[in-house]
Amino acid sequence: MIVVFDTNVLIAAIITEGVCAKLLHRARSREFSLVSCPFIMGEIQRTLSKKFRLSHDETALAIEPVSESIVHVIKHNVKIKGICRDADDDNVLACALAAKAAYLVTGDSDLLALKNFRGVKIITPRDFEALFD
């Protein structure tokens, strides 16, 4: 099963010890195939350095478990525009489509409101974790 985690899920997995960290551990154990793209990876780096004020070295160290959990960072040319209020969310949707993901896991209410986009199920981290119970 191919899955894309939105940036907010990956940041939560790095910063906290909650359900998102548990899901990242599942990805690292290859219980599913976590796929990402340069946009999401860049957004993680920007968030860690700007919002959390981590240095370049601290950011690299923080991203390490994420990088180890991802099976493939896909470069794609899928373009999505005007689906979400935030153009960044459209980029996350494009990543999920390009990855042929079964699930997009996010805490973003705008994305969650879609529920499904061109065959990609959009669910919360808690609902995704419930699939493993």
- Band of pLDDT at residue 79, cut at 50, 70 and 90: confident
Q: In sequence order, what are the residues at sequence separation of 6 or more whose Cβ sits closer than 8 angstroms to the Cβ of residue 60?
A: none
Between CA 113 and CA 16 the distance in angstroms is: 25
How confident is residue 47, by pLDDT bands cut at 50, 70 and 90? very high
CATH fit for domain 2-130, picks 3.40.50.11490, 3.40.605.10, 3.30.360.10, 2.70.170.10: 3.40.50.11490
Give the confidence band of 128 by pLDDT, cuts at 50, 70, 90: very high
| Mean of the per-residue pLDDT values of the chain | 94
- Examine the pLDDT at 84 and tell me if it is beyond 80: no
pLDDT at 76 over 90: no
